[in-house]
């Protein structure tokens, strides 16, 4: 595989995927509207600014790069509380526009798609461990857009006129860290997820709030599977390189779901402890109720990724924290703040 389209390729995950592809000699072609992505992340790359639903722009991209062999669809709105407040916006951006994108990809003959999904679609389980066959029951508009798109994609591979379309859906768990070479990272200096809030608390002296302390976990806080974003990016590379083995062109079922996590569950309180150990300082930790759309969480069974992709995580929480801190320092200096 020589060239791959990445939607949302100027964002946190998409840009890390782009760098991982470059490291393997694969050329990314990035499409991003820069509503959240950063132009700095696509310097010296093939970049098109625009909307994934813009059919004319997709026509131009494929006319100028007819050797694109697959698409990685990372573009999405992802903030859970915002999705609760603006559900129609999320359904339009994440579902309706993806359908337009798929229509263009099918028309243009792009038959391989890797889709960025989310572990937030899983229903709670007694031990919080989930595999690809575990029941799904999304609990926020954001998560429901991912669950809906998984169904759309599966139906798409079975529909009339889509005999050649194939999809690998990667269900992300909780990305942390940054590109270890610090080429890209989180665009926002103060992101809304747990590690971002820990870094903000450490950098500013503000308190860190554990949101939700009565979940049915070992310490009452939510549980997550924190996977280094570079490991996540390398899972995309593995999915692309093994695409035809995982979903053969003549397969009866041309849709496959694969979890991408570490296989270990970490509670929010445990994450706080790991962060404090990494930075050598204690934080002002407080407690509050869950935010709108919050769930107890889960962690991944990753046997399928090992078996099908030959992939396994290689980096732990300490490395994720270190890379995230190093990136924040570099990015803050570049932004002059």
Active site residues: 142
Please, is 334 exposed, middle or buried when counting C-beta atoms within 10 Å of its C-beta (0-12, 13-18, 19+)?
exposed
Q: Sheet harboring 112-118: ordered strands across? A: 46-49, 27-32, 3-7, 70-73, 112-118, 166-172, 255-260
Q: What share of the chain is helix, strand, coil (3-state, %, to 5)?
A: 40, 20, 40
Other CB atoms within a 10 A radius of the CB of residue 96 amount to 13
> Angle CA(175)–CA(75)–CA(325) in degrees, nearest 5?
30
Please name which of 195, 193, 198 lies closest in space to residue 80, comparing C-alpha atoms.
193
Dist. CA 229–CA 314, nearest whole Å: 11
Q: What are the counts of helices (DSSP H) followed by strands (DSSP E) for the chain?
A: 12, 15
């Amino acid at each position: 595989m020589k060239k791959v389209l990445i939607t949302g390729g100027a964002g946190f995950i998409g840009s890390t995927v782009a760098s991982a592809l470059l490291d393997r000699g694969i050329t990314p072609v990035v499409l991003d509207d820069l509503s959240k992505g950063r132009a700095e992340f696509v310097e010296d790359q093939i970049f098109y600014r625009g909307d994934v639903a813009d059919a004319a722009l997709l026509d131009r991209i494929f006319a100028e790069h007819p050797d694109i062999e697959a698409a990685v669809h990372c573009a999405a709105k992802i903030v859970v509380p915002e999705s609760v407040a603006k559900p129609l916006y999320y359904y339009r951006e994440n579902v309706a526009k993806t359908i337009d994108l798929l229509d263009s990809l099918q028309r243009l003959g792009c038959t391989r798609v890797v889709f960025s999904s989310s572990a937030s679609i899983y229903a709670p389980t007694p031990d919080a461990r989930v595999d690809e066959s575990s029941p799904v029951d999304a609990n926020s508009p954001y998560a429901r857009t991912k669950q809906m798109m998984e169904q759309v994609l599966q139906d798409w591979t079975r529909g009339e006129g889509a005999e050649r379309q194939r999809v690998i859906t990667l269900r992300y768990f909780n990305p942390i860290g940054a590109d270890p070479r610090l080429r890209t990272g989180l665009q926002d200096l103060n992101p809304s997820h747990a590690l971002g809030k820990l870094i903000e608390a450490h950098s500013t002296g503000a308190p860190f709030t554990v949101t939700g302390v009565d979940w049915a976990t070992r310490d009452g806080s939510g549980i997550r599977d924190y996977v280094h974003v570079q490991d996540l990016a390398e899972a995309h590379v593995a999915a692309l390189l093994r695409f035809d083995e995982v979903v053969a062109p003549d397969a009866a079922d041309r849709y496959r779901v694969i979890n991408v996590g570490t296989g270990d569950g970490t509670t929010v309180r445990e994450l706080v402890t790991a962060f404090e150990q990494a930075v050598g300082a204690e934080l002002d930790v407080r407690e509050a109720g869950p935010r709108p759309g919050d769930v107890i969480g889960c962690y991944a069974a990753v046997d399928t990724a090992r078996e099908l992709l030959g992939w396994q995580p290689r980096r732990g929480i300490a490395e994720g924290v270190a890379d995230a801190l190093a990136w924040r320092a570099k990015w803050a200096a570049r932004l002059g703040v």
